[in-house]
Amino acid sequence: MMLVSSLRRASHAPWFTSMVTVVLLVVMLVAGALGYDGFLSPQVMLNLLIDNAFLLVVAIGMTFVILSGGIDLSVGSVLALTTMVAAFLLQNWHWHPLLVIVTVLLMGAGFGAAMGAMIHYFKLQAFIVTLAGMFLARGLCYLISINSITIDDPLFTTLSQTRLELAGLFISPSVVIALFMLALAIWMAHCTRFGRAVYAIGGNENSALLMGLPVGRTKVLVYAFSGLCAAVAGVLFSFYMLSGYGLHAQGVELDAIAAVVIGGTLLTGGYGYVAGTLTGVLILGVIQTLIAFDGTLSSWWTKIFIGALLFVFCVAQRVISLGALRGKPAGSAKAAPAGA
């Protein structure tokens, strides 16, 4: 009975979904190792990061948005727009590749900041504003070109083909960039005033205002960071595909949201772990790898499994929210953790 009682109390804790995510990842890896030879080989595990580096970067930005109590549906379209602008500037205007990268990163950050300003200062719903941003960015892609633009710039080609080898294994430069962004985001979330303000706003925006926190500036910066991450992911995707195309990254915004939720961040905002997003991305990658190793299942089963997992985690988050409400005195405000 004590064990059951302890599990019941734990199930109401916000960190419970993060713990479940880690356990689920371990179970899936063990199941893959038992079912398929070579599944747990080091290079297969590194391939998870190589293939999902751009998704990890997008999901990092999405984590901050969801922690603040918002949502960003534009990230996939911003990623595609980044590939198109980069390809056009490189192939048609022959800009220096480093100048192109800086330009598209500033473009992504500015696009996100504009949406954040509209959300805060005009009191608009984040869903509507970012949905408009999604259509706008995707439409701008087709103003540039309705066809794919191939990238043959030497720097992009070199980065696309480079393998960083160690002890017979290899990773791509994109993995290094993605892990750097992850480390930067963890530091920002848990070791800076900006991160503490993000958690506080997600916990209760009115309380954050009463505490004197810069709510407006923080919300604008959150969406600017999300746009920056989408642009970085677009650069990584350009390395990966060596092309710009308006149809790139369709549905990536939904994959990013799925990774964040599965990683343990509450959709209501105010609680979550940036590191948990890595676990969420890895789970999505493991599902794809399991299906690839099986060889008999359609790739659409990936979406089915992800959908089922999302249902489970949404129910778990609802249970956590109800448990937290029962544990509070009447009229108390939703507490905002300082980050873990």
pLDDT digits (tens, 9 = 90+) for 256-301: 999 999 998 988 888 899 999 999 999 999 999 998 888 877 777 8
Global pTM reads 0.91
pLDDT score of 340: 41
- Cα 334 to Cα 190, 201, 292, 337: the distances in Å are 19, 11, 43, 10
In the chain, where the domains are located: 16-27+39-316
169 sits in which H/E element: strand 169-171
Mean predicted confidence (pLDDT) in 197-221? 95
pLDDT, mean over the chain? 89
C-beta of residue 189 within 8 angstroms of C-beta of residue 67: yes
pLDDT score of 3: 47
pLDDT exceeds cutoff 50 at 332 = no
Measured CA to CA, the distance from residue 136 to residue 130 in angstroms comes to: 9
Residues 6+ apart with CB under 8 A from 7: none
For 16-27+39-316, the fitting CATH number among 2.60.120, 1.10.3720, 1.10.10, 1.10.3470 is 1.10.3470
C-beta of residue 237 within 8 angstroms of C-beta of residue 254: no
pLDDT bracket for residue 318 (50, 70, 90): confident
Measured CA to CA, the distance from residue 140 to residue 192 in angstroms comes to: 35
pLDDT over 90, % of the chain? 74
The identity of residue 81, as a single letter, is: L
289 sits in which H/E element: helix 274-294
pLDDT score of 70: 96
